[in-house]
Structure formats: structure tokens, C-alpha cells
Chain A
């Protein structure tokens, strides 16, 4: 029963009916007054179009009677009280009639503050902005959308948030009562169960049928989203409840109490410590581990205790690239122990997949581990707490020696203590020797990276190394955050920049659904604005084209950020896929009138990204094709961003 039988003094339907009756009455009067003034000459001068009817004239000029006011407080005001109790800062939303009651309450009753309404041009943007914001702050924000068409727009972004373990509270408007909802569009936009479409990739959802139910479910949703593993949640928002008066004196807002993160089993941690301290070539692999600065701090402590190298898969910024124990995936081969921390794809960490057409076209799979090493595999991950079946984000099953279900960051302090207790005195010299070797290797790798950056240094299109070096030269003195795809631009930021704070990078989209980078960067920048941090994004062109309206949102809400376009004029992953298949089938890939295989290029015409950004209120420049123009242009762009405005520099780049 979604709608209470006791209706407010003036319900939404009665309000609409009242307007109709008043309009009809006024139109009759107006029409009567107008007719006597019409002369025969007037009739002759009439244009071929028909004169307005009395109803049309009334609609233009008639004044409806004063509307009686709703008695008492509307239900949506109480909803705002619930939302405010959780100190949610922002509602990212594209406006829609199915939540007009709550919308009105948010901006008038709630004074558009805590939360503030952020106008978005696409629901996919709304979710991605909340996703980006949450990765900076750790706090879920609210997304308000139509429960049908809006939620359908939002689904890909919700899937990204799910795969990326990002907390977002999605609220979808709906009108459950078929006997009372308006016909036509509002009924097209209603459903029995709006959350069904996202149930496979949300942590929890509910359809409250009363205000008290809403209060309980909203606080519960916020709590579940905020408990590691973070995930999106969904709440259906019924129109009838929004409009219903608050007439229940027993209504209350449940108190929110944060839940402690799940912790790995202590005995398993002690066993892990014993194996770690005795391993000759241990390696730590970290992926979506560091939720906060503490995650990086604990990982440094653990790595330094035993001088164990860390392979950062960049799902989050887990480990400083300046640290001598910052390793690379080549260390996997010789490892005799691998400890995975919130690794999304452990199978792929210890196995290689080669897309070469072997095994009946499925590609070759082989272990990365050296035969005979008998490598011990250990994981700490909270992903097993997310038991969904349909979507395959849990990846291929990898047998391991010790599997711990728990949040890795929360479990590291106990593991560190267990390691301290387990270290034999006679191993300390071996650890120091190991550390010295990694110091030398790390220094050599940094030198190699710098020399590799010189390749194609003056090329046009501009090399990704050159762009990253030029951007770094402009931002290195600032307190900055980067939002870009991990490994994007051939990983040059990681190879050239000093990245030693957990907010220097936030990982990728999670589900690799395009249309994330741009709006998520706006969300990151939105959060960074309050923290006084400079936000830079290296923006893929194909991603930008999905929903460029996010640019307008940044300008409208004065969110400063520097966007440097990685404009390689194609969907480059697909460029290579089609080329690979063409070769495998002994065919020359057909290019049409573009440089990549037909269907993979964004050329002819070239997109004017600077023009697009300028049209939506940004400072912009480009396209820049000569690398010598980069420094001066980027310098100007940085000054614009420091003044509080967004800026975009379009650069024509090498493919990767």
C-alpha cells in the first residue's frame, strides 16, 4: 500500500483538477466579453489561421482562483529532514516530475543547503559525479532521478560505481498507485519495481511505502553504502508519499551509527605473517585497498618492515611511486609469496592472457609464476561479501592458499603487529639486503622512464610523455589531484610525476564503462574545491563525447578543474581490436576515410573540444598540435583554474 487513504486538504490531483475548473470558468467569461467587440471589418482582416478559441484565450489571460494551501507539512519536507540528518552535502540531479515534491522541499524548505542541488544534464553524469566525489571524501552523496527513464540513463554509471566499490545513494522517483497517478507521460514513467533494473549491481534497495518506512530505509541505505566494501544503493521514492501530509506524531528519524569495517580473521593473519617473514621473494599486490590516507600509511609500514616490494594495480593510490619498494608486475614471476590486498582480479594477477586466437579463438592463458616456485597465494578482500550472480565483476576463480574475507585497510594494523611478532632476529639482515637491491632497481627504473620520455619528444601528434611532463611542470608546486584512467597516456603520470599522497589518484571507473572520466572528474573537482586542492584530468576524447553536458555543470556551479584532452581521435582500444581480428583473418583492415578501421575513429570532422567547452562557459584553448605551444598554454590554463574557473586544453595526441 503505497499511498495513504487519508489525503491532504489539497492533493496533487485535486490541485490539477482545480486549475482545470478555474481555467474553464475564466475562459467562458473572457470569451463572452471579447465577442461583442468583433466587427465585420475585423472579420475581413482575419488571417487565414483560425482565431483563438475562447479556451485558448482563457489559457493565456485567465487567472485561476487562489489555491488553498496544503494543510501541515508535506511528506517531502520530512524527507529533507531525514536527508539532512545524514549531513549529505549534495544532490546530483537532472530534474524530473516524479520527484517534484522532494525537489521543491529541498530548495525551499531545506534552503538548498546540506544538501545543495547540483544541476546535471544526464543521469549518468549525476551518478559519476557522486562517484568521483565519494572517492575523494569517502562520503556517499545523493543522486535523484526519474525512477524509470532516469534510472535507465543512470544504470551504466551505477554499474561503474558497483565495480569500483564507490558509495552512492540513488533515489528514483515513481508513482505506484495506478488508480491515482496522471495518465500519459507520468504513467510511462512509472513501474511496479523501479529498482529491478539496478538490483544486480547495488548493495541494497528498497521501496518505502510510508514516511516512516522512508526514514528507516534511507538511513539504512546510507549506512550500507558507507560500510566497506562501499557500494551504491537505491531507494524508490513514491509520489504519493512525497505529497502526503506529515500527520503522524510518532514519526521519527532513526539515528545513524557507522558500522565498523569487516576485519580479516586474526588466526589467518598470524599464519600469513609467518609465511611473509620467511619468504625469500614476497610481493604485495594492492588494488582497491587505500580508502584513506591511513591505507597508504599502513602499506608503507608493512612493506618497510620486511622490505617487500609493492605492485600497485592503481585501483586506488596505494603506494608512493617515489618509494624504493614501488615495484612492477614483472616481480610476480619470481615471487614465492604473493599477498593480494583488495585485488579485483587475482587470477589475472598470477596468469597471463594473450589475445592471439589460440584455443579456438579464445586466446592463450598461461601462469605468470615461475614453475617450481610453489608460490603461496594469500588474499585479503571484502569482495566475497558481495554475493551477486548475474554480472561477472567477481572475475575468474583463483584458488589460493589463504583467503581472508575482510577489508584490507582495516586489517593491515593487525597484520603489521603479527609480522612484528613473527620476525626472526636472524632474518633482519636479509631484509636489509633485499631493500638495498630494490633501492638500486627503483633508481634505475626512474632513470629509464625519463629517457623513454624523450622518444617522440617533438613529434606531432604530441607524445603522451611530453604532455604529461609539461602538465607536471605546471602543477608540481600545487596541492593537486589527478583523475584519469589508470595506465592512461601509457602511465606517464605514474612514471614521471611525484605521486605520494592517497589523493594524488583515485583509480578508474571500475566497470570500464565509457562516459565516466568527464563527470567523475567534475565530482572529484567538486570535492577538492572545498579542500583547496587543484584538480587535473587527462580526458579521453571518446569518453568526453558520451555526455559532455558535465562541462556545463562544472561551469554553472563554478567548479574549478583543468582538463587536458587526450585527443587521439578514436576509440583506440577498438582500433586495435579490429586491427587484430583483421590480421588474424588475413585481411587488410578497411580504413574508409579515417586513420583507424571503419567505425573506430572520431575524425572527419574533427571535434572542436575547445569550442564545446567555451560554449558551456569554460576557458579553453586548442587544439594544440605543436608540443612547443604546450607550456605557455598550460600555464595560462592553470592560472584560470587557480582563479576558480574550469579550463580545458585540447591536445592532439599520439594514440597511447
Chain B
């Protein structure tokens, strides 16, 4: 998956994500690597499609600020990822990766889903 860095910048800016080190230039490529490294794929699938173990994350992920708040403080089946485990920069990159995933086709255009 590829994404323009400018687009990711806009997403991060719009989400109001400002970390201690200042605004972060999110990178979808790094985000894909981080998505695998931190085990996000285990429950949500490698392209964030979701499954019986975790909800869909992409396309159209929730805003970075909301995603960050949930990830840092989750008290559900999803374990919290604190900053010492998942740094803010990697979190922003993961969000950029999820934002880069294109919308799927309408199922009506896929013959075997219309039997």
C-alpha cells in the first residue's frame, strides 16, 4: 500500500495529534511494518479488515485522536498499548497505514457474492 505523505500529514493535523516531541510526519509504509510488529494484524487482519477476533479498522479508520485514546486506555478484550510499548510515532504511522487502505468494491460487482 502507498500513501502520499501530505495526505497523512493532513490526517494527523486534523486529528489534532500533537505529541511531546511535536507534530509527527506519519508514514504509511512504516505504519504497515509497525502494524505487523506490534501484533495489530493478529486480531484485525493484515489490512485491518477485522474478523471474529477484532473489529474492522480500515478503510476509513476512526480519527487518530480517538484511536490513540482507545489504544492507550482500552479495558476491553483489546489490551491497552502504552507508549513504552507502542511509541506515538509508530501509532501515527499505523493510523496512516490504515488511512491508506482503499475502499473495497460493492459486493454487487462480485459475481460469487451474488449467488
Contacts and interface: CB of A to CB of B under 8 A. Distances in A.
Given A455-B45, A654-B45, A654-B49, 11 more contacts: A356-B76, A452-B50, A459-B47, A465-B49, A470-B112, A575-B39, A576-B43, A580-B79, A583-B81, A583-B85, A595-B36
Contact of A487 (B39, B52, B79): B52
Interface stretch (B9-17, B20-28, B102-110): B102-110
Contact of A356 (B36, B50, B79): B79
B110 A586 contact: no
Nearest to A357: B79
B94 to A, nearest CB: 14
7 contacts: A354-B75, A450-B107, A455-B50, A459-B47, A469-B110, A472-B112, A576-B42
A597 B36 CA distance: 11
Contacts of B79: 356-357, 579-580, 583-584
Interface string B80-92: 1110110000000
Among B49, B80, B110, B114, which residue has the most Cβ atoms of chain A within 10 A? B49
B41 interface: yes
Contacts of A455: 45, 47, 49-50, 56, 104
Interface residues of B, number: 35
Interface in B3-62: 36-39, 41-43, 45-47, 49-53, 56
Interface residues of A, number: 47
A656 B45 contact: yes
Contacts of A587: 85
B79 to A, nearest CB: 4
Interface of A: 354-358, 364, 450-457, 459, 461, 463-465, 469-470, 472-473, 476, 487, 490-491, 496, 572, 575-576, 579-580, 582-584, 586-589, 591, 595-597, 654-656
Nearest to A579: B39
A355 B107 CA distance: 35
Contacts of A583: 79-82, 85
Contacts of B106: 451, 454
Given A454-B104, A656-B51, A459 B37 contact: no
B113 A453 contact: yes
B37 A579 contact: no
A390 to B, nearest CB: 30
A454 B108 CA distance: 10
Contacts of A459: 45-47, 49
Contacts of B47: 455-456, 459
Given A454-B105, A455-B50, A586-B82, A469 B113 contact: yes
Given A473-B115, A655-B41, A356 B49 contact: no
B76 A453 contact: no
Nearest to A496: B113
Nearest to B38: A588
B74 to A, nearest CB: 8
B73 to A, nearest CB: 11
Contact of A576 (B45, B53, B105): B53
B107 to A, nearest CB: 4
Nearest to A453: B113
Contacts of B38: 588
Nearest to B81: A583
A470 B112 CA distance: 7
B107 A654 contact: no
B42 A575 contact: yes
Contacts of A591: 37
B32 to A, nearest CB: 12
